[in-house]
A and B are shown apart, each in its own frame.
Chain A
Amino acid sequence: MMSNLTSTERARAMLITVAGVLIGLTMAAVGRNDPMGAHGWIVLLFCGVLFFLVAQTLYDAEPVEDRSTSYYDDPTKVGILLALFWAVVAMGMGVWVASQLAWPDLRFDAAWSSFGRIRPVHTSGVIFGFGGNALIATSYHIMQRTSRARMPDQVSPWFVLLGFNLFCVVAASGYLMGITQSKEYAEPEWYADLWLVIVWVVYFILYIRTLARRNEPHIYVANWYYLSFILVVAILHIVNNLAVPASFSGAKSYSAFAGVQDAMVQWWYGHNAVAFFLTTGFLGMLYYFLPKRAGRPIYSYRLSILSFWGIVFFYIWVGSHHLHYTALPQWVQTLGVTFSVMLLVPSWASAGNALMTLNGAWHKVRDDATLRFMMVAAVFYGLSTFEGSFMAIRPVNALSHYTDWTVGHVHSGAMGWVAMITFGSIYALTPMLWRRETMYSWKAVEWHFWLALSGTVIYIFAMWNSGITQGLMWRTYTESGTLRFSFVDTLIAMHPYYIARAFGGLLFFAGACICFWNVVMTIRRVPNHAPEADYPTIPEAMEPAVPAAE
Chain B
Amino acid sequence: MLKTLLKPFARVFEFQAKTHYRMERHSMALTAGIILAAGVGGFVEIAPLFTIDETVEDVADMRVYTPLEQAGRDIYIREGCYACHSQMIRTLRDEVERYGPYSLAVESKYDHPMLWGSKRTGPDLARVGDKYSDDWQVRHLINPRDLVPQSVMPQYAFLQETPLRTDDLPGRLKALSMVGVPYTDDMIANAADDALGQARPDSDRASGVLDRYGEATAVRTFDGQSDRLTEMDALVAYLQILGNLTDVAQNTQLMTEE
- Selected from B31, B92, B113, the residue in CB contact (under 8 A) with A325 is B92
Known: A111-B158, A246-B168, A250-B168. A263 touches B114 (CB 8 A): yes
Check B113–A115 contact: CB distance below 8 A. no
- Selected from A120, A219, A403, A488, the residue in CB contact (under 8 A) with B25 is A219
Q: Which residues of B contact A232 (CB under 8 A)?
A: 34-35, 38
**CB of A347, distance to nearest CB on chain B (Å):** 16
Alpha-carbon gap, A252 to B34, bound state (A): 34
Check A398–B90 contact: CB distance below 8 A. yes
Known: A178-B79, A255-B113, A259-B56. A218 touches B25 (CB 8 A): yes
Known: A208-B31, A218-B24, A317-B45. A247 touches B112 (CB 8 A): no
Check A114–B80 contact: CB distance below 8 A. yes
Check A224–B30 contact: CB distance below 8 A. yes
Check A117–B27 contact: CB distance below 8 A. no
- Selected from A211, A246, A261, A326, the residue in CB contact (under 8 A) with B103 is A326
Binds A, one of B171-179, B204-212, B215-223, B234-242: B171-179
Binds B, one of A80-88, A148-156, A180-188: A180-188
Q: Which residues of A contact B86 (CB under 8 A)?
A: 402
Check A324–B114 contact: CB distance below 8 A. no
Check B78–A178 contact: CB distance below 8 A. yes
Check B179–A255 contact: CB distance below 8 A. yes
User: Per-position contact with B for A200-225: 1 when CB-CB < 8 Å, else 0?
Assistant: 00000000100110000111000010
Known: A219-B30, A316-B40, A320-B45. A491 touches B152 (CB 8 A): yes
Alpha-carbon gap, A265 to B152, bound state (A): 31
Check B17–A302 contact: CB distance below 8 A. yes
User: Per-position contact with B for A55-84: 1 when CB-CB < 8 Å, else 0?
Assistant: 000000000000000000000000000000
Known: A116-B84, A320-B45. A246 touches B155 (CB 8 A): no
Nearest residue, chain A, Cβ from B76: A182
Check B152–A258 contact: CB distance below 8 A. no
- Selected from A100, A261, A482, the residue in CB contact (under 8 A) with B154 is A100
Alpha-carbon gap, A386 to B258, bound state (A): 42
Q: Is A548 an interface residue when CB atoms closer than 8 A count as contact?
A: no
Q: Which residues of A contact B88 (CB under 8 A)?
A: 326-327
**Residue with the greatest number of chain A CB neighbours at <10 A, chosen from B39, B152, B176, B178:** B152
- Selected from A107, A184, A231, the residue in CB contact (under 8 A) with B118 is A184
Check B151–A261 contact: CB distance below 8 A. no
Known: A101-B121, A261-B46. A252 touches B111 (CB 8 A): no
Q: Is B148 an interface residue when CB atoms closer than 8 A count as contact?
A: yes
Q: Is A530 an interface residue when CB atoms closer than 8 A count as contact?
A: no
**Residue with the greatest number of chain B CB neighbours at <10 A, chosen from A218, A254, A320:** A254
Check A104–B145 contact: CB distance below 8 A. yes
User: Per-position contact with B for A129-156: 1 when CB-CB < 8 Å, else 0?
Assistant: 0000000000000000000000000000
Alpha-carbon gap, A390 to B97, bound state (A): 27
Check A474–B91 contact: CB distance below 8 A. no
Q: Is B244 an interface residue when CB atoms closer than 8 A count as contact?
A: no
Known: A256-B179, A261-B46. A116 touches B118 (CB 8 A): no
User: Per-position contact with A for B1-33: 1 when CB-CB < 8 Å, else 0?
Assistant: 000000000000000010011001101101101
Binds B, one of A13-21, A305-313, A417-425: A305-313
Q: Is B192 an interface residue when CB atoms closer than 8 A count as contact?
A: no
**CB of A217, distance to nearest CB on chain B (Å):** 6
User: Per-position contact with B for A313-334: 1 when CB-CB < 8 Å, else 0?
Assistant: 1111101101111111100100
Check B154–A114 contact: CB distance below 8 A. yes
Q: Is B224 an interface residue when CB atoms closer than 8 A count as contact?
A: no
Q: Is A385 an interface residue when CB atoms closer than 8 A count as contact?
A: no
Check B45–A335 contact: CB distance below 8 A. yes
How many chain A residues touch B (CB < 8 A): the figure is 96
Alpha-carbon gap, A178 to B81, bound state (A): 11
Q: Is B132 an interface residue when CB atoms closer than 8 A count as contact?
A: no
Give the residues from 59 to 96 in chain B that come closer than 8 angstroms, CB to CB, to chain A: 74, 77-84, 86, 88, 90-95
Check A312–B38 contact: CB distance below 8 A. yes
- Selected from B45, B92, B118, the residue in CB contact (under 8 A) with A322 is B118
Q: Is A407 an interface residue when CB atoms closer than 8 A count as contact?
A: yes
Check B49–A264 contact: CB distance below 8 A. yes
Check A403–B78 contact: CB distance below 8 A. no
- Selected from A119, A316, A324, A488, the residue in CB contact (under 8 A) with B83 is A119
Known: A257-B112, A402-B86, A491-B152. A268 touches B123 (CB 8 A): no
Q: Is A534 an interface residue when CB atoms closer than 8 A count as contact?
A: no
Check B123–A181 contact: CB distance below 8 A. no
Check B37–A181 contact: CB distance below 8 A. no
- Selected from B46, B84, B90, B116, the residue in CB contact (under 8 A) with A115 is B84
**CB of B142, distance to nearest CB on chain A (Å):** 11
Check B105–A402 contact: CB distance below 8 A. no
Q: Is A358 an interface residue when CB atoms closer than 8 A count as contact?
A: no
- Selected from B54, B92, B113, B148, the residue in CB contact (under 8 A) with A266 is B113
Check A116–B81 contact: CB distance below 8 A. yes
**CB of B200, distance to nearest CB on chain A (Å):** 24
Q: Which residues of A contact B34 (CB under 8 A)?
A: 224, 227-228, 231-232, 312
Alpha-carbon gap, A240 to B35, bound state (A): 16
Known: A116-B80, A258-B109, A260-B105. A212 touches B145 (CB 8 A): no
Check A260–B154 contact: CB distance below 8 A. no
**Residue with the greatest number of chain B CB neighbours at <10 A, chosen from A219, A239, A258:** A258
Alpha-carbon gap, A147 to B88, bound state (A): 50
Q: Is B150 an interface residue when CB atoms closer than 8 A count as contact?
A: yes
- Selected from B20, B92, B113, B178, the residue in CB contact (under 8 A) with A258 is B113
Give the residues from 381 to 411 in chain A that come closer than 8 angstroms, CB to CB, to chain B: 398, 401-403, 406-407
Alpha-carbon gap, A224 to B28, bound state (A): 11
Q: Is B119 an interface residue when CB atoms closer than 8 A count as contact?
A: yes
Alpha-carbon gap, A116 to B79, bound state (A): 5
**CB of A4, distance to nearest CB on chain B (Å):** 27
Check B30–A180 contact: CB distance below 8 A. no
Check A325–B94 contact: CB distance below 8 A. no
Q: Which residues of A contact B108 (CB under 8 A)?
A: 258-260, 262-263, 327
User: What are the 10 A-B residue pairs with the smallest beta carbon separation, nearest first?
Assistant: A116-B80, A316-B41, A325-B90, A259-B108, A317-B41, A178-B78, A114-B154, A255-B113, A327-B105, A402-B120
Binding site for A on B (CB under 8 A): 17, 20-21, 24-25, 27-28, 30-31, 33-35, 37-42, 44-46, 49-50, 52, 54-56, 74, 77-84, 86, 88, 90-95, 97-98, 102-123, 144-145, 148, 150-158, 168, 171-172, 174-176, 178-181
Q: Could you give 22 example pairs across A and B, Cβ below 8 Å? A: A100-B152, A104-B145, A107-B154, A116-B81, A178-B78, A178-B79, A182-B115, A212-B27, A224-B30, A228-B38, A235-B38, A244-B175, A258-B179, A261-B46, A264-B45, A265-B46, A309-B37, A317-B45, A324-B90, A335-B45, A477-B94, A498-B152
- 6 A-B pairs besides A262-B111, A276-B38 with CB distance below 8 A are A101-B121, A259-B109, A268-B45, A314-B41, A339-B41, A475-B94
